[in-house]
Amino acid sequence: MKINKATRKDIPQLVSLINGAYRGEGAKKGWTTEADLLDGIRTDAASLEEMIKKNNAVILQSLNENNELQGCVYLEKMESKMYLGMLTVAPLLQSKGIGKQLLLAAEKYASEQKCVAIEMNVISVRKELIAWYEKYKYYTTSYTKPFPDNVKFGIPKQPLEFIVMRKEI
């Protein structure tokens, strides 16, 4: 498995991977799906391009030996903290250690960027995902955030909010 920084040329494959892992019937083949919580897409090419263009952000991607995309994670430095988002693994490849490797690569990157902590927003009802992060020493803070009222992020099927999780590094 190789992990490298995504570029603009990788955007079409990233859009397909991310939307396929989070939304729709195909996403239900993996354990990290949001398909029962949200309709609509998870991201689009324009949003990913904005992320890649930021000077303080990167999308790390995991590739197999044939250079096929397996997963990705978005990282954005915010002062002394690293924001982690969109940790994604293809549904049929989940539970094979790819997510763990991406998480470790994200932590290494955050450390190299002199960050003191990593923070992320997790939908509060995603108990299995929260437990997975807790296994890697992330903890739930007392902070919550409203789910965005913007179809660009999906259309909630029920009221949703984020909890903020954190890990000191």
pLDDT digits (tens, 9 = 90+) for 67-78: 999 999 999 999
Which structural domain range is residue 24 located in? 2-168
Whether pLDDT at 63 is above 90: yes
- What stretches of the chain show up as alpha helix (H) in DSSP? 11-22, 24-27, 45-53, 98-112, 127-135
pLDDT per position as a tens digit, 106-138: 999 999 999 999 999 999 999 999 999 999 999
Mean pLDDT of the chain: 95
Whether pLDDT at 169 is above 90: yes
CATH number at residue 23: 3.40.630.30
Q: pLDDT > 70: what percent of the chain?
A: 100
State mean pLDDT over 45-65: 97
**pLDDT band, very low/low/confident/very high, at 152 (cuts 50, 70, 90):** confident
- Is this structure's pTM higher than 0.75? yes
As beta bridge partners, residue 77 has 82
Instruction: Say if CB 71 and CB 86 are below 8 A apart.
Output: no
Angle at which helix 45-53 crosses helix 11-22, to 10 degrees, equals 120
Three-state DSSP class for 8? Answer: helix
Q: pLDDT > 90: what percent of the chain?
A: 89
CA distance 54 to 48: 10
Domains of the chain: total: 1
Instruction: Return the amino acid letter for 41.
Output: I
